[in-house]
Structure 1
Amino acid sequence: MKVEQNAAFRQRVAMHAALADAARLRIVDLLALGDLSPSELQAELGMPSNLLSHHLRTLEEAGLVARQRSEADRRRSYIHLVRGRLDHLMPGMEHRARRVLFVCTRNSARSQLAAALWRQASAVPSESAGTHPAGRIAGGALAVAARRGLPLPEVAPQRLDQVQAEGDFVVTVCDNAHEEVPGLQAVHWSIPDPVRVGTPAAFDSAYELLSHRVADLAPRLVAA
């Protein structure tokens, strides 16, 4: 049998070979909802750091996962699935949630945009909050929402401990918030802070990243 060995075919072979290992498939399952640091993966999997490094390197070489530095602690990194690589093999399971709560530090941009995007994508209610709320929503967040036709009410940012309730499915969209509250049982999305940069392009990038993440998660959550 003649098999065409072009680059795309070889990449597919590498992807399937990477996923054929039980530990690596479990890593991909864990990353299906959000981003995890190597130490978080190690704690979840209960495997030695050198073995985890081997599995992560294999997944990276297959183009299935990538990593980026934390904005909060530059010594830390987060692993995430490469979007689009698993369109026909997407892992994960269905989860039930009373409400989705998006959290960042200031509750002025990323969490507000995520909650607004979620309201368009799912019937499960959404809310947002911050660990250290700002006085108002960032102008750049309001501007990008207006450019994209996304309804974003100009409400005062809220504090996490005043908003969080039992049964919430919590998603942190900020490295600082995720690392500041280590006991918070939350899915994490490592989204760069557009307020720090302050340009329309930065807010557009954050909007796109959040839109993709919301689209990936929404089919996995059903109302509790």
Structure 2
Amino acid sequence: MKFRLPLTALMLGAALAAMPAVGKDKDKEPAATPAPAALPTAVDMNISHEPENVLLLDLSNGGRVAIRLMPEWAPRHVERIKSLTQQGFYNGVIFHRVIDGFMAQTGDPTGTGQGGSELPDLTAEFNAMPHLRGTVSMARTNDPNSANSQFFIVFYPRFALDRKYTVFGRVISGMSYVDAIQRGEPPENPTRVVQASLASEGKAAPAVSPAPAGAQPVPSVSELNNSRSN
């Protein structure tokens, strides 16, 4: 059997709850919830600054790509990329999914798009950073918390990806070599990451064949806008 309070008791309880607080804490206001700190949007383009947060990708097309890692945006994802890089995980890995006008994806040691590292998947760190040209973001499955080792570099802005994929860095040098990555899913002759390192390690770029003659870099967004305005 369920016991119910009489109506008068309920009314009395409501009245007491509505009365102002008394005593030493009567003048205290409830603590305000602090607003989340705004993420920095500026990216330092100088490779010599904080070299421990600059990822260098030496590609089989003969170029070196420098990526500014942004722990302020996605600390756990940056930590993962740095850890795998120092283990040599990315050395020899191909760009297995490269879509013209969209992005170039790498980070799978099997080259199939189905592989990853032996480390556990990461909890998503979606942020407000837009997917601009040169943005570096983590690949994942339909599960938001499935990013592991694969990442992609954006050729053109793709704002539909914002807040759905974890942005953790941006290309600060060598974007023309990203543009020259062979297209395909997978490409017939895929471009490889010959060596991945952090700038703080001071590793020299390995000797590789230069990029194929006639490879045309994709124009920058500003160049596109200027051409449209003329």
**Which is helix-richer, 1 or 2?**
1
Same fold (TM over 0.5): no
Structure with more relative contact order (C-alpha pairs < 8 Å, separation 6 or more): 2
Q: TM-score when scaled to structure 1?
A: 0.23
